[in-house]
């Protein structure tokens, strides 16, 4: 089973960025533990601060992989283009947000991705990524 985690802008700063909101674990450390907890998944990680690079990655993998765990960061609330790409591809995506975006500014309440995703996991911290992987596994069995 081949799954990719795609993180959008500023998520490379996890661990250093507003730890009161996003926690103090770096995504690299978290990803290492995810990989060892899910040996049955061929798990990849891609992060970019550039909208076009995220589009290119979705196009590249979006017809072959079994699942995408997508945290588009702020592009979630602005990018019609990434929303269109999620709609265009055949690989199912689960949208994840570390923080509870509904408890934050109203501009974070709208997502251009959600309507095209299999589901959405919000406000569960880094555990949200794990829950998304579990969902892909359970639905494969
Ligand atoms: C985020 C929420 C977004 O509103 C924000 O722009 C992010 C991170 C989250 O994981 O909680 O960069 O996607």
Sequential pLDDT tens for the chain (141 residues): 999 999 999 999 999 999 999 999 999 999 999 999 999 999 999 999 999 999 999 999 999 999 999 999 999 999 999 999 999 999 999 999 999 999 999 999 999 999 999 999 999 999 999 999 999 999 875
Q: Radius of gyration (Cα) for the chain, nearest Å?
A: 14
Residue whose CA lies nearest to ligand 1 atom number 12? 73
The pTM score is 0.97
Q: Measured from the CA of 77, which atom of ligand 1 is nearest?
A: 4
Q: CATH: 3.40.50.9100, 3.10.180.10, 3.60.150.10, 3.30.1600.10. Which one for 2-140? A: 3.40.50.9100
Residue whose CA lies nearest to ligand 1 atom number 1? 73
Determine the distance separating the centroid of ligand 1 and the alpha carbon of 13, expressed in angstroms.
12
Q: State the first-to-last Cα distance of the chain, in angstroms, to the nearest integer.
A: 11
Q: Which of 25, 49, 95, 101 to mutate to test the pocket of ligand 1 (most atoms within 8 A of CB)?
A: 101
C-alpha to C-alpha distance for 123 and 136, rounded to whole angstroms? 19
Instruction: Tell me how far CA of residue 65 lies from CA of 28, 75, 109, 139, in angstroms.
Output: 21, 22, 29, 15
Tokens of 6: 């795609």
Catalytic residue among 22, 75, 112, 129: 22
């Amino acid at each position: 089973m081949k799954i990719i985690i795609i993180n959008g802008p500023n998520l490379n700063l996890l661990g250093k960025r507003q730890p009161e909101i996003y926690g103090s674990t770096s995504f690299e450390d978290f990803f290492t533990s995810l990989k060892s907890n899910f040996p049955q998944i061929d798990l990849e990680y891609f992060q970019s601060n550039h909208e076009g690079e995220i589009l290119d990655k979705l196009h590249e993998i979006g017809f072959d992989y079994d699942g995408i765990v997508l945290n588009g960061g702020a592009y979630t609330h602005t990018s019609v283009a990434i929303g269109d790409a999620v709609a265009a591809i055949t690989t199912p995506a689960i949208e994840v947000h570390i923080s509870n975006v509904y408890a934050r500014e109203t501009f974070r309440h709208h997502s251009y991705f959600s309507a095209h995703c299999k589901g959405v996991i919000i406000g569960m911290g880094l555990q949200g990524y794990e829950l998304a992987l579990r969902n892909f596994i359970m639905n494969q069995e």
